[in-house]
């Protein structure tokens, strides 16, 4: 049996390219997608090729970007448009295989092993056809990596400068992949790279030749996995997805949301308003996923020096109620620090993990009120239905209205979609 044929397709400068496609007047200009400076979210989220050529970087402040590129055009994010373009691209991929695995909005793996002969049998020609179709039908360009495994396919697309195809094969991977920095490979983040660097391992080839003792001692089991990745021994499958479900068909392991507040949070009511807004979004997404959570975590960043911390608590009974998530998150914040001007917060995030499906029976607490909990769940589900019809701001809790600026936010709608994990 021959090797698999896997492609990783990455839409180039996705957010900025969508903005340029929607507004032809922006084409050829340096464009950056950024948050709202008035709400202190004024950092660069994405940039066009033209902006990148001027030295604009993701996550830097707008004023810093404009110092490098005075003609920079800054546009707000449009997540509804990003989802639409992402869905259109995937429908093209589904024309070649049913094995399409999204990796965030702008990236997907596809496995064409079983269908390649239907399209001429040449993987490079199929990749070029997909690239041309995305360009002509959607107006965006893609980078495509072609390999026999997912890790090298992604490595190929990541190293393409744009609108190209990079094959990493069994014949060339030692010449193409191994000289690259180990940090270029999936799951080798800054912390892992620091450990590798301290031991003299710099490239993917170095990692491929690392010894068992070092890897197990410094990284545990994940070290052996990373070495297998570097050797091209990744056997993880491209997961078949339902085209109508796309992002929501994964096994969800956690749901979270965070926000930099429009102003410093200097009192209990300020913090409570934001925590409830975040918890409402998280709990609504929990219910949409038909899940309950056992663990609630909260994170905060101080206004004075931008240092931060996170705390978590495991519940006796799993919940999907915004009330429960918010109360636990507030309790964790209050127990960790005074909430006053001296300890003002700039940003807060709320996250739930340790999830269980809603259809799994729940052991009721001996002195709990199961009937009340069931009524509250039905109430929250009814509110979800209203928000689905009339928007997420059609029903609000009084606590969320105590801050005039934050009460106008639709955190769930404007939530950034992050890539799902490679390992599930």
What would you report as the CA-atom Rg of the chain, rounded to the nearest whole angstrom? 24
Q: Taking the mean position of all CA atoms in its chain, how far away is CA 390? A: 27
Q: Is 107 tagged catalytic? A: yes
Cα distance between residue 325 and residue 322, in whole Å:
5
Q: Tokens 């030749």 — which residue?
A: 209
Cα distance between residue 282 and residue 279, in whole Å:
5
Q: Using CB atoms within 10 Å of the CB of residue 234, give its burial: 0 to 12 exposed, 13 to 18 middle, 19+ buried.
A: buried
Cα distance between residue 184 and residue 334, in whole Å:
41
Cα distance between residue 75 and residue 271, in whole Å:
29
> SS3 for 165?
strand
- Supply 355's token pair: 């999830």
User: Pick from 348, 344, 260: which is nearest to 302 by CA?
Assistant: 344
User: Pick from 162, 19, 37: which is nearest to 79 by CA?
Assistant: 19
| 351: β partners | 256, 297
The reply, when asked if residue 106 is annotated as ligand binding, is yes
Residues 241 and 91: beta-carbon distance below 8 Å: no
The pairing of beta strand 165-167 with beta strand 142-147: parallel
Interaxial angle between packed helices 190-198 and 212-219, expressed in degrees from 0 to 180 and rounded to the nearest 10: 140
Q: Tokens 């309950």 — which residue?
A: 292
| Vertex 259: Cα angle to 253 and 260 (nearest 5) | 145
Q: Under the phi-then-psi rule, with left for phi > 0, alpha for psi from -120 to 50, and beta for the rest, what region is 120?
A: left
Query: Which of 38, 50, 101, 107 is labelled catalytic?
Result: 107
Cα distance between residue 157 and residue 332, in whole Å:
42
> SS3 for 17?
helix
Annotated binding site: 10, 106
Active site residues: 107
Annotated binding site for Mg(2+): 10, 106
């Amino acid at each position: 049996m021959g090797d698999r044929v896997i492609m990783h397709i990455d839409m180039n400068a996705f957010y900025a390219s969508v903005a340029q496609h929607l507004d032809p007047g922006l084409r050829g200009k340096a464009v950056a997608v950024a948050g709202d400076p008035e709400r202190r979210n004024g950092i660069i989220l994405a940039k066009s090729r033209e902006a990148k050529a001027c030295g604009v970087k993701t996550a830097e402040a707008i004023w810093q970007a404009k110092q490098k590129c005075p003609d920079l055009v800054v546009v707000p994010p449009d997540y509804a448009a990003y989802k639409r373009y992402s869905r259109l691209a995937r429908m093209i991929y589904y024309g070649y295989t049913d094995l399409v695995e999204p990796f965030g909005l702008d990236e997907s793996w596809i496995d064409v092993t079983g269908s390649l002969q239907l399209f001429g049998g040449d993987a490079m020609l199929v990749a070029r056809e997909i690239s041309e179709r995305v360009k002509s039908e959607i107006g965006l360009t893609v980078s495509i990596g072609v390999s026999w495994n997912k890790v090298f396919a992604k490595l190929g697309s990541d190293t393409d400068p744009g609108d190209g195809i990079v094959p990493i094969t069994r014949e060339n991977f030692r010449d193409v992949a191994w000289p690259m920095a180990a940090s270029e490979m999936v799951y080798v983040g800054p912390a892992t790279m620091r450990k590798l660097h301290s031991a003299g391992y710099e490239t993917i080839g170095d990692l491929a030749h690392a010894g068992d003792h070092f890897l197990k001692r410094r990284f545990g089991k994940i070290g052996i996995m990373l070495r297998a990745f570097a050797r091209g021994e990744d056997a993880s499958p491209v997961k078949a997805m339902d085209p109508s479900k796309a992002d929501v068909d994964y096994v969800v392991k956690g749901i979270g949301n965070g926000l930099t507040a429009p102003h410093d949070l200097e009192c209990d009511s300020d913090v409570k308003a934001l925590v409830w807004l975040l918890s409402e979004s998280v709990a609504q997404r929990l219910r949409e996923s038909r899940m309950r959570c056992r663990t609630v975590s909260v994170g905060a960043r101080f206004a004075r020096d931008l240092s931060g911390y996170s705390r978590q608590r495991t519940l006796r009974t799993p919940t999907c109620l915004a009330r429960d998530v918010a109360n636990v998150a507030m309790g964790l914040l209050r127990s960790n620090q005074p909430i006053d001007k001296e300890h003002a917060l700039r940003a807060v995030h709320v996250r739930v993990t340790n999830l269980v499906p809603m259809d799994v029976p729940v052991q009721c607490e001996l002195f709990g009120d199961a009937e009340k909990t069931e009524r509250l769940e039905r109430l929250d589900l009814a509110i979800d239905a209203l928000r689905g019809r009339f928007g997420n701001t059609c029903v609000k809790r009084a606590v969320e209205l105590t801050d005039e600026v934050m009460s106008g936010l639709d955190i769930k709608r404007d939530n950034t979609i992050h890539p799902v994990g490679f390992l599930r």
